[in-house]
Amino acid sequence: MNVQERFLKYVSFTTTSDESSESCPSTKQQLELGNFLVKELESIGLSQVKIDENGYVYGLLPATAGRENDTPIGFISHMDTSPDFSGEDPKPQIIEDYDGNDVLLKGTGAMLKVDDFPTLKWLKGRTLITTDGTTLLGADDKAGIAEIMTAMEELAEADRHAESRGYENLSGHGDIWVCFTPDEEIGRGADRLDLSYFKAKYAYTVDGGYEGDIAYENFNAASATFKIHGKGVHPGEAKGIMKNASLMAAEIAMALPENETPATTEGREGFYHLTEIQGDVSEATLHYIIRDHDQTRFEDRQKFLKEIAEKYNEQFGGTPFASVKDNRAGGTVVELQLKHSYSNMLQIIEKTPDVLMRARTAIESVGVSAVSDPVRGGTDGAKLSFMGLPCPNLGTGGYGYHGPFEHVTVEGMETVVRIIKRIAETRG
C-alpha cells in the first residue's frame, strides 16, 4: 500500500478528541483507528506491537545485522483530529497536476485561496488533496501516520529481501520504535507515552507543515485566568453600591498591550491571547494564554499580569491578598490564577546535537532544503523532551490545519517517507 492509499484509508476514521472527557483516549473512535494500526504494524513485520489500555500504539522494527549497537531512535504521530472543526465523514478532493490557482471546495462552495495560503504556489504540478469544505481533512496528523507506516513497510521489506538472498543489507538500520498517540490535539498526547517500553534514545514527532521542516523551538506557555468579583444590586438604587464585574473585566482586558496579540505578532514574538470572556454584574472571568519563546520575556509577561491584578484589585476597592469571602467587607475583587503549560524544548535539544544533524542531513540528501522555523505553539515533542526523550518535529507536507482549508500533497508525503528512511539508515 502506498502513502496516498494509506492516508485516504486513515482519514476515513473519525477520531476527533474531546477536551471535556476525562478518559484516555478521550473518544472511543481513536481506539478503532489504533486497533487497525496494530494489525497493519503486525502485517508489515514489526515486533513488540501492542495497543495499551490508554490507546497508545507501539511497534519496533528491530536492528539489522551489524547495526544492533546503533542508537535506537523513534518516530511518533498522533491519531486524533482537532475538535476545532468537524472531522465526521470527510470527503477528500484529489486534484492531480494542480494548476496553482484557487480551489473550489465542492461541499460548501468555499474557495481555498492562494491569497490566504501563499504556499499553494509551491505545490503547482503536484497531486493536491483537500477537503470538500464540510469537514477538516485529517492530515493533522494522519499524514504523519501514513508516512511513518509506509517508511517502516519499505524498510522491513528491504530487510526481508536481503535476508532471503543471504546477503547483508548494505543500508540497514538500528532499532526503530514507532508510537501513535491519542489526544495530542487537546494537549495530552505525550502524557501517558510509556518510555520504559518505547526504548528510543531520541525521537521525532512527524506532524506539521513543510516537508523539509525540522522544528526544535516552541513557545514557553502558561494559562492565566482573571476572576473579577463584583457587587450586584437593583440598578434603580445602584449609585455608590454597584460594582459591575463585566465592566471591570473589560477595563482589565483593555490594559493589556494591543500590539501583543496573536493577530499582531509573528516568528519569535510572544503574545497575550484572550481566549474567552464570560460575565455578568456579579462575576466575570477572563481566560488568557501567554506565549513567548524567550524564557526571560515569558517570566516578565507573567509578572506583568500579576501587577495588573494587584493594580486593579486596589483600584476597584479590594484588599490585596484578602480572602474572597465577603466582597462587601473589602475582600479581593480581582483574582489571578496562573498555570504553567509547557516549556521551550530548545534547552533540551541543544544538549543533543545528533538528533538535529541526523535530520538535517537526511532532509538535504533527498534534495529538499532543511528549514528550522520556531513553532508558534507547542508539540508533544516539547513535553517528551522534558520527560527525557529529546524529540524535535518533522513536517509532513500538510497545511491549513484545524479547519476546512486543510490540504496536503502526495509528493510532499512521499518526500517525508524518504526522509524518515534516510534518518533511520544513518549510522549513529
Residues of the chain with CATH 3.30.70.360: 220-342
356-401: pLDDT as tens digits: 999 999 999 999 999 998 888 888 999 999 999 999 999 999 999 9
Q: Is the pLDDT of residue 321 over 60?
A: no
Residue 400 has a pLDDT of: 94
Cα three-residue angle 177-129-29, rounded to 5 degrees: 55
pLDDT of residue 331: 73
pLDDT-based confidence at residue 428 (cuts at 50, 70, 90)? confident
pLDDT at 325: 43
Q: Which three cell numbers, joined as nine digits, stand for 43?
A: 502485517
Instruction: Provide the mean pLDDT of the chain.
Output: 93
Selection from 215, 220, 267, 218 nearest residue 393 by Cα: 215
Show the DSSP H helices in 125-261 as ranges. Answer: 139-164, 245-255
| CATH class for the domain made up of 3-217+344-425 | alpha beta
pLDDT at 56: 98
Residue 320 confidence (pLDDT) above 60: no
Which pLDDT band holds residue 323 (cuts at 50, 70, 90)?
very low
Is 28 exposed, middle or buried (CB count within 10 Å of its CB: 0-12, 13-18, 19+)?
Answer: exposed
Closest by CA to 371, choosing from 233, 214, 261, 221, is 214
Can you tell me the distance from the alpha carbon of 208 to that of 213, in angstroms, rounded to the nearest whole number?
Answer: 8
Whole-prediction pTM:
0.87
**Each residue of 286-317: pLDDT tens digit?**
999 999 999 999 999 999 999 999 999 999 98
Q: Is the pLDDT of residue 318 over 90?
A: no
| CATH 3.40.630.10 residue ranges for the chain | 3-217+344-425
Q: What is the pLDDT of residues 124-170, one digit of tens each?
A: 999 999 999 999 999 999 999 999 999 999 999 999 887 776 665 66
For 202-253, how does the pLDDT look when each residue is reduced to its tens digit (9 = 90+)?
999 999 889 999 999 999 999 999 999 999 999 999 999 999 999 999 999 9
The residue with greater pLDDT, 187 or 49, is: 49
The residues annotated as belonging to the active site are 80, 184
Q: Bigger pLDDT: 376 or 6?
A: 6
Q: Give the CATH number of domain 220-342; options: 3.20.10.10, 1.20.1250.20, 3.90.1720.10, 3.30.70.360.
A: 3.30.70.360
